[in-house]
Amino acid sequence: MFFRRIRGLFSNDLAIDLGTANTLIYVRGRGIVLNEPSVVAIRQDHDGGRKTVVSVGEDAKAMLGRTPQNITAIRPLKDGVIADFTVTEKMLQYFIHKVHESRMIRPSPRVLVCVPCGSTQVERRAIKESAAGAGAREVYLIEEPMAAAIGAGLPVAEARGSMVLDIGGGTSEVGVISLNGIVYSQSARIGGDTFDDSIINYVRRNYGTFIGEATAERVKHSIGSAFPGSEVLEIEVKGRNLAEGMPRSFTLNSNEILEALQEPLSGIVSAVKIALEQTPPELGSDVAERGIVITGGGALLRDIDRLLAEETGLPVVIAEDPLTCVARGGGKALDMMDERGLDFFASE
């Protein structure tokens, strides 16, 4: 403990958005320094059965679905929470080292981790333990809607209701915030991964072809949209034809993807509608007057704001740089914590 404190003097405080799809790290005073996929590739030795980490992040993501028998590329987080504790710990350890790579001394930073508001106590404890195991001196947790709202620049301290919708890789979080607190929050286990799965299923059903997750994600990024647009985009993809067993190429258009995404999108829309129903009327009127703010990678889905605006009848706004909102919000919270905590931490 004591040595951790000493090492802490040589470490920067971090805010980590430990997401299902991507992990972002905000370093105090430096901004966002790491944005890598939450993927770890592990090699299992033939004889000893010992497991070693081969690569983490971008490199590991490139291996997804392309690994030999002795290597597995794992996404250790699922639905916004830890699915594989040990691998998550290794991944965090790697990332923390990476942002401190110039340091001679092993880092021991204070870490703020964003957690889904719907996560259970056990899941939160797991995240905390995992960060502590990765070398964090102290671990703080912040709920994602709050971090997203702060990161998006919403006036969270005011006595006015602000609604934020954070569509992440594994979960979508709706939160109504007023006076620095969450008035209502709801977490739906629908996110970018669900979109990918829907696309995979759609393609298999309608084209009799099996495509991988990486391809589905590429399709989503290129031509995915949430609302019928004026122009129809097309993309050529290759997959394994289930009848022939051979790789075949075919063309998908944006309307098909829109159709494929209907189910997860309606899940998100209904989560927002429920949140609006549950919001106290005063706060609801504030939200109606100013609108809903969307953050997270899901906000990049074309016309998702139009879909929500049509469905709810409220103005919908996409935050600037929505991918990094949560991490930036965590970073701001970290800064504020340090400012407020100066008198507490003066002895350090």
Partner 1 sequence: MDNDDNAQFAPSLMIDSADERTDSPGRQLRYARERRSLTLERVASDLRLSIAIVTALENDDYSGLPSPVFVSGYLNSYARLVGLDPAPLLAHYRGVRPTVELPVCGPALPKITTIRSSHLLMRLMSGAVILALTSGVTLWWINHRPQDAILPVAPQVMPTTPTAPAAPPAHSSAIPPDVMAPLPLPNRPAPPAIDAPVVPPTSAPLPAPSPPPAPSSEPRPQRGRDSGSLVADATAADATAIASAPPPPVVKKNREVAVSFKAPCWVDIRDASGRFKLIGEMRKGTRHVLAGEPPYSIIFGNATAVDMRVDGKVFDVRAQSRGNIARFKFDSTE
Q: Closer CB to partner 1, residue 55 or residue 324? A: 324
CA distance 5 to 348: 8
By CB under 8 A, the residues from 148 to 177 that bind partner 1 are 149-150, 152-157, 177
Pick the stretch among 28-36, 68-76, 243-251, 318-326 that binds partner 1 (CB under 8 A).
Answer: 318-326
- DSSP string across 294-341: EESGGGGSBTHHHHHHHHH-S-EEEPSSGGGHHHHHHHHHHHHHHHHT
Give yes or no for a contact between 117 and 172, defined as CB atoms under 8 angstroms apart. Answer: no
Give yes or no for a contact between 22 and 56, defined as CB atoms under 8 angstroms apart. Answer: no
If one asks whether residue 305 binds partner 1 (CB under 8 A), the answer comes out as yes
Give yes or no for a contact between 113 and 67, defined as CB atoms under 8 angstroms apart. Answer: no
Q: How far is the CB of 245 from partner 1 (least distance, A)?
A: 41
If one asks whether residue 242 binds partner 1 (CB under 8 A), the answer comes out as no
Q: Closer CB to partner 1, residue 101 or residue 231? A: 231
What does R_g of the chain's alpha carbons equal in angstroms? 21
Pick the stretch among 39-47, 119-127, 213-221, 227-235 that binds partner 1 (CB under 8 A).
Answer: 227-235
Q: How far is the CB of 156 from partner 1 (least distance, A)?
A: 5
Q: Among 52, 70, 120, 180, which residue interacts with partner 1 (rule: CB under 8 A)?
A: 180
Structure tokens belonging to residue 166: 């954070």
Structure tokens belonging to residue 228: 């019928």
Neighbouring-strand partners of residue 187: 173
The footprint of partner 1 on this chain (CB under 8 A) covers a number of residues equal to 45
Q: Among 34, 39, 92, 112, which residue interacts with partner 1 (rule: CB under 8 A)?
A: 112
3-state secondary structure of 16: strand
Which residues would be at the binding site for partner 1 (CB under 8 A)? 1, 112, 140, 142, 146-147, 149-150, 152-157, 177, 180-181, 228-231, 289-291, 293, 305, 309, 313-320, 329, 332-333, 336-337, 340-341, 344, 347-348
